[in-house]
Every structure is written in structure tokens, then in C-alpha cells.
Structure 1
Amino acid sequence: MGGPHIVGVILFLVIGFIINSLFSYLLRKRIIDSGQIDKEALEVLLKPIGSTTESLKWGLLLLFGGLGLVILEFIPYEVHNSSLPYGIEAICLALGFLTYYLWMRK
């Protein structure tokens, strides 16, 4: 994956984050402006959007996804006709989700 591809992916993610934040703000503003909410609901709406558990989930997914990519560097496979890279990456990401699930169950 070359440099221009990485820039495209990062640009896509940044634009997606901005759009998500904007729509979340507009939804919260519309709910608050309607005036039909009680004090507890208002406190929930005024909390910051991101939570620590959400950061943990994405951190674990990135960690295990990166681990999968590192593993692929050391396993020989035929580049053009192999589904091995997809399987290893899927397994590593699933392990990341499973780790997050088990962590949150405690």
C-alpha cells in the first residue's frame, strides 16, 4: 500500500469522523431544544460523546489488527492466490473483540 492510498484512507476517516460528530451534535441540540426532557436525560445528553470503554475497544482492535499484520510478515504464503492473509487478519480482529468483551464482562 503506497503513500497516496494511506492519505486517501486517512482523509476518508477524518471526513467520516467530522460528519459523525456534526450529526451527533445536531441531534443532541434538536432534542434539548424540544424542551421535552427531564433533568436526568439532560445530564446524559450533556455528557461527552466518547467514553473510555469506546477508546479501549478501538485500542484493542488496532492492537490485534496490527498484530495480525506483523504475523503476516513472518508467514510465507502465495501473494496472488491465497486467502491466508484475510483469515489471519479476521482471526486477530476477532480476538480483539473477544478480549474487549471479556474485559467488559468483569
Structure 2
Amino acid sequence: MKSLAPFIVMIAILISLSVIIVVITNYNLKKKILNKENIDDKMYIILNNLTGFNTEMLKWGIILLFGGIGLIVLEFLPHDENTPLPYGVMAVFVALGFLTYYFMMKNQKK
């Protein structure tokens, strides 16, 4: 498990960089669209699609939060090297993250 730490950190850095790049490019695109004088219906559709990114960030934030909680639980849970227990614990916590996001979105649409 200790040899996975640098790999996980690199993945987290790459994901963070990609999220930052997407947020900056979406902001620049919205700014250019709003600075244009004549905005037609197609532009409003593009603007509405760009605002859906906030729920994507929420989803991945919740999933990563629950994944981190799963890793913390695994640190304190005694287990053998050859047991599939860590995979099951991580799967359960990531699934809880997905379910939490699903129920949050379901309640928000009501």
C-alpha cells in the first residue's frame, strides 16, 4: 500500500490540473460569449451547458472524499496481504460516494 502513495498523488495532481484548465477555459468562453453584442438562442444553450460543470465537480469531490475515508478506514483495519478485504472496503466507500451524489441530485431536482 505504501508504494501506491506516489502514484495516487500523481493522479490527484493530474486531475486537479485538468479541472483547473477546464474551469479557466469555460470562464474565458463565457466571457467572450457575453461580451458579444448579439446573443441568439444557440449562445444561451451553450451557456446553459457550461454551467452543468459545477455538479460534475461536486460529484468527483464527494467520490474522492468517500475514497479518502475508505483509505483512512483501511489504515486502521487489520488485514492480511493476500485478502481481498481492502478492495471490498474501497468499493463500498466509493459506492457510498456515488449514492450520496445520486440522492443529493435527486433531492435537488424536486
What's the TM-score, normalizing by structure 2?
Answer: 0.62
Determine helix, strand or coil for the equivalent of 2:79. coil
Instruction: Output aligned runs, 1:1-106, within 5 Å.
Output: 1=3, 5-6=7-8, 8-10=10-12, 13=15, 17=18, 39-46=40-47, 48=50, 51-79=53-81, 81-106=82-107
Q: Using the TM superposition, give the Cα deviation of residue 42 of structure 1 relative to its aligned residue in structure 2, in angstroms.
A: 2.1
In 1, Cα distance between equivalents of 2:5 and 2:75: 19
Q: Report the CA distance shift for 1:7/1:68 in structure 2 as closer, same or farther (over 3 A).
A: closer
Displacement, 1:39?
Answer: 2.9
List runs of 5+ in structure 1 lacking aligned partners.
26-37
More helix by share: 2
Q: Kindly, what percent of the aligned residue pairs are identical?
A: 42
Which segment is superposed worse, 38-47 or 53-62? 38-47
Pairwise CA distance, 1:101: 0.5
Secondary structure of the corresponding residue to residue 77 of structure 1: coil
One-letter code of the match for 2:56? Answer: E
**1:67 offset after TM fit, Å?**
0.5
The answer to which of 92-101 and 5-14 deviates more is 5-14
Which amino acid is 1:105 matched to? K
Task: Give aligned pairs, total.
Answer: 90
Aligned residue for 2:83, secondary structure, equals coil
> CA shift at 1:3, angstroms?
6.6
Q: Deviations over 1:78-100 (max 9, x none)?
A: 11x11110100000000000000
